A and B are shown apart, each in its own frame.
Chain A
Amino acid sequence: MQADVSPSGPPLVELKGISKRYGDLLANDGINLAIQPGEIHALLGENGAGKSTLVKILYGVIEPTAGEILWEGRPVFLSSPVEARALGLGMVFQHFSLFDELTVAENIAVALSDDWSLATVRSKLGDISQAYGLALEPDRAVWTLSAGERQRIEIIRCLLQNPRLLILDEPTSVLTPQEAEHLFVTLDKLSADGCAILYISHKLEEVRRLCRSATILRGGRFVASIDPRERSARDIAALMVGNEVGEVRTGTPHVPKGEMLTVRHLSMPSGGLHGQALDDINLIAKAGEIVGIAGIAGNGQSELFAALSGERLADKAEAVVIAGKSCGGVDIDSRRRLGAAFVPEERLGHAAAPTHRLSENTLISHAAAEVSRSGFILLNAAKRLARAIIKTFDVRAPDGDPQARKLSGGNLQKFVIGREIIRHPKLLVVDQPTWGVDAGAARLIRQALVDLAGEGSAVVVISQDLDELFEVADRMAVIHQGRLSALKPINEWTKEAVGLEMLGVAQSQGAAHAV
């Protein structure tokens, strides 16, 4: 339970008239925000609303152009995160700052002050991961961990320092419902102990579950301060995007036709030392349906994506059949020629080259198509294609043909998904379509996936966001430790059943019931 918030005392932290200007862009425009001790305060807004900027200012990463920060009523200047931590702030970033080559324990020790020995960290790590259900092996190297496991390190790293204000940026995006519920219990405990929490999330149900107060930003400005428990998720979303958010229209129910993707007995050894091997995966996606693959990060999703896309080849050609052609042994380009399209999890660096312009980025998956002829690039065609994607998928880009890294996460995601959908692929495989994407963009992306299936394409959505899968998928399976559960119609799944499959509990239970 949350501690009683006494309005009489000074707030723990107060931001007054914070503004931040980048050239012509006003990322924050006179924002006020106050957090009481022990309060769980939500910060809501679309990507580009200025949340990240505001939080970075509070955490000393960047300096505001104007405005001041009061800590317990006293003005403070935070010129670095080290000073912010010394004051009692802890932050779990959405983008992890970990050393890939070091182990879990070393990564935690590095961020702490000198009087923490590695041995102390290791023992504390055990306690904390036990208490909060954040399982981690202290001696694993970070580069072998999934996104979900990496985030656990970040969370534990902060909790070890007993912060007075903990800032969490989209903390549950890689957790199972059970793990998320665990985290909420943890956060409630922390709050009861007097630690304030600034909670940034797009998941409105979570915010309504956790927070008593919420500040909503839009376009760098303060929009509203509300009690999220008194408003519906729809109302809050409307405040965030500035207009009513519609739900994804399914239209007519999807009528599955021929098999576009057939995966038979696909096994693949793990790529790295700690990668996840795929174990006898069987999967069918038919034209006109969306197949969802749920699972906790690091259970073989990236490996499955690589095996489907052809970035890694299977031993047997018939393990992956696309549009009737056995293609387990052919590369990604040959699979594209069969009408398949792919969107990987990482937007920057995998789906798109950060320093390349959007028109150049169309070449990555359209090389064989209309943007090149006899080995020459058709620059104008590439630009036209980029413009068409921008227009069709409502990509908000700074100028005509910007570098990919200049786009916000949501807009770049719309671009890389749009880049594939605009080709009308017969099969689309997409890994984490809306990870770290704002509500508006997520809705647009899901709608595009549903519409694509409606037009008769097969769509495979690998996602950790259960709400998303329940919203769009026609059939769903759960991946756990490289094994895929049975593929069942979505209405035969409950969230609880999915959660059990995610944790691998259902398989042992299921074995008992199996006939």
Chain B
Amino acid sequence: MRFELTPRPTISPVMRTLAPVAAFVTAFLIAGLVIWLMGRSPIAAFQVYVSQPLSDPWALQELLVKATPLALIAIGLSYCFRANFWNIGAEGQYVMGAILGSWLALKTHGTDAGFWVMPAMLVLGIMGGALYGLIPAFLKTRFGVNEILTSLMLVYVAQLVLDYLVRGPWRDPKGFNFPQSVTFDPAATLPLLGEGSRVHYGTIFALVAVLVTAIVLGRTLFGYRLKLTGDAPRAARFAGFNAKRTTMAVFAISGGLAGLAGISEVSGQIGQLQPSISPGYGFTAITVAFLGRLNPIGILVASLVVALTFIGGESAQILLKLPLDLTQAFQGILLLCVLSADALVSHRIRFVTRGGRK
């Protein structure tokens, strides 16, 4: 006996809408079972993971803070993934954006350089990420090197460069030998949205990126070019779309948005450079992009959901002594459930037995 997935002749729109809901319920049930097996109450865990963060104003702000880099990076990645290019190196592009942007912050530190510093840092951040993203694109178009390997390996290069800088040339001389830079001047700090808020302008950038991307992917020839390149590369060539240029463009956009996320996080959230400036946003954003089905609005929602698991995971670690790894496991379960639900909407499972039918 074997299973077969056969495509459904028609896809019901109701099922299509309900699929993510069913996926979430299933993911929560599986996670609940795991937590129960670990000897904790699934109900309490649900409260810590979901109910508390959503009812606490501080946690809601934290949710936006965490969702911001995820959304920015995932939106960028959606350009690559739509065109069927596998940029796994957003984490490195994020770090490089942060480094290049911070260079200006450190250069102007202690001077009375004016308001132009912050916008210039953002531009440098975008450039840093974009140029770093273009390396795998160039290697792919020029030499045919697989972009999955190069983009992933460049993550480690970027992380080690950052490590070197904050332990070496960029270390704060008055920082008691801690591996960190000086704290950025106010002119080099991304403003917060309102007094006493923790949410910075990066959130606005993310929302703008979502809206612009929704228009670009849905309404422009460039968006169609990406879709066609991803779905039918020969047809894209037939349409006259230059494959090399497409590759370069999507990696530059994807890297640029990751770089913007990096410099926003450093200048708006952390306030200085340190060896670790990301809890793996660049990798988690891959999950976010697919949870959101590469749709800009979907990515926005997915970034909030995944940010929630980050916050809930931290609280669960403190309150229930649940390991932080469980959060990552849950993110994985969630992605698996969403992808399975999508597959089941468009396909049905058939059991085939040898020698007879059904």
Contact = CB atoms under 8 A, between A and B. Distances in A.
Interface in B318-358: 352-357
A352 interface: yes
Contacts of A377: 219-221, 223-224
B348 to A, nearest CB: 12
Nearest to A343: B238
Interface in A323-353: 331-333, 336, 342, 344, 346, 349-353
Contact of B240 (A354, A367, A372): A367
A375 B357 contact: no
A349 B221 contact: no
A332 B238 contact: yes
B244 interface: no
B249 to A, nearest CB: 13
Given A79-B353, A331-B242, A375 B222 contact: yes
Nearest to A373: B221
Contacts of B234: 346, 349-350
Given A22-B9, A63-B357, A356-B228, A344 B238 contact: yes
B41 to A, nearest CB: 45
A63 B220 CA distance: 44
A80 B223 CA distance: 42
B228 to A, nearest CB: 6
Interface string A292-332: 00000000000000000111000000000000000000011
Given A23-B9, A80-B352, A367-B221, A350 B238 contact: yes
Interface string B229-262: 0011011011110100000000000000000000
B238 A311 contact: yes
Nearest to B228: A353
Interface in A459-511: none
A23 B234 CA distance: 32
A22 B222 CA distance: 37
B43 to A, nearest CB: 43
Residue from the set B9, B234, B240, B355 with the largest chain A CB neighbour count within 10 Å: B240
Contact of B238 (A355, A364, A379): A364
Nearest to B234: A350
A332 B240 contact: yes
Contact of B235 (A80, A350, A379): A350
Contacts of B238: 309, 311, 332, 342, 344, 350-351, 364-365
B227 interface: yes
A364 B227 contact: no
A25 interface: yes
Interface in A361-376: 363-365, 367, 372, 375-376
B120 to A, nearest CB: 28
Contacts of A309: 238
Nearest to B352: A79
B357 A79 contact: yes
A188 interface: no
Nearest to A368: B240
Contact of B231 (A63, A353, A375, A379): A353
Interface string A251-282: 00000000000000000000000000000000
A375 B232 contact: no
Nearest to A331: B240
Contacts of B221: 363, 367, 372, 375-377
A336 B222 contact: no
Interface string B7-21: 001100000000000
A353 B353 contact: no
Contacts of B352: 79-80
Nearest to A21: B9
B235 A364 contact: yes
Interface string B187-226: 0000000000000000000000000000000011111100
A14 interface: no
A77 interface: yes
B240 A355 contact: no
A77 B220 contact: no
A137 B228 CA distance: 36
A311 B237 contact: yes
A372 B219 CA distance: 10
Contacts of A352: 232, 235
A363 B219 CA distance: 12
A342 B237 CA distance: 13
A154 interface: no
B304 to A, nearest CB: 29
B357 to A, nearest CB: 6
A399 to B, nearest CB: 10
A360 interface: yes
A349 B228 CA distance: 10
A365 B240 CA distance: 8
Contacts of A367: 221, 239-240
Nearest to A355: B231
A460 to B, nearest CB: 17
Interface string A373-406: 0011101000000000000000000000000000
Given A349-B232, A376-B219, A333 B240 contact: yes
Interface string A18-41: 000011010000000000000000
Contacts of A363: 221, 224, 228, 239
A342 B227 CA distance: 22
A77 B358 CA distance: 11
A80 B224 CA distance: 40
Given A79-B356, A377-B219, A377-B220, A349 B237 contact: no
A10 to B, nearest CB: 22
B294 to A, nearest CB: 14
Contacts of A375: 220-222
Contacts of B356: 77, 79
B6 to A, nearest CB: 9
A83 to B, nearest CB: 8
A434 to B, nearest CB: 19
B346 to A, nearest CB: 11
B176 to A, nearest CB: 54
A80 B220 CA distance: 46
Interface in A83-129: 83
Given A79-B353, A79-B356, A376-B219, A354 B237 contact: no
A356 B240 contact: no
Interface in A39-70: 63
Contact of B354 (A79, A331, A333, A356): A79
Contacts of B239: 332-333, 363-365, 367
Nearest to B6: A62
A363 B227 CA distance: 12
Residue from the set B220, B231, B239 with the largest chain A CB neighbour count within 10 Å: B239
Contacts of B237: 311, 332
A336 B220 CA distance: 20
A468 to B, nearest CB: 23
Contacts of A332: 237-240
B205 to A, nearest CB: 23
Interface in B38-87: none
A365 B227 CA distance: 15
A150 B259 CA distance: 49
Interface string A140-175: 000000000000000000000000000000000000
Given A350-B238, A356-B232, A377-B221, 8 more contacts: A77-B357, A332-B238, A352-B232, A354-B232, A356-B228, A360-B227, A375-B220, A379-B219
20 contacts: A23-B10, A77-B357, A80-B354, A310-B240, A332-B238, A332-B239, A342-B238, A349-B235, A350-B234, A351-B235, A353-B232, A363-B228, A364-B239, A367-B221, A367-B240, A372-B221, A375-B222, A377-B220, A377-B221, A377-B223
Report, nearest first, the 10 A-B pairs whose CB atoms are least far apart.
A333-B240, A353-B232, A364-B239, A23-B9, A350-B234, A332-B240, A353-B235, A22-B9, A353-B231, A372-B221
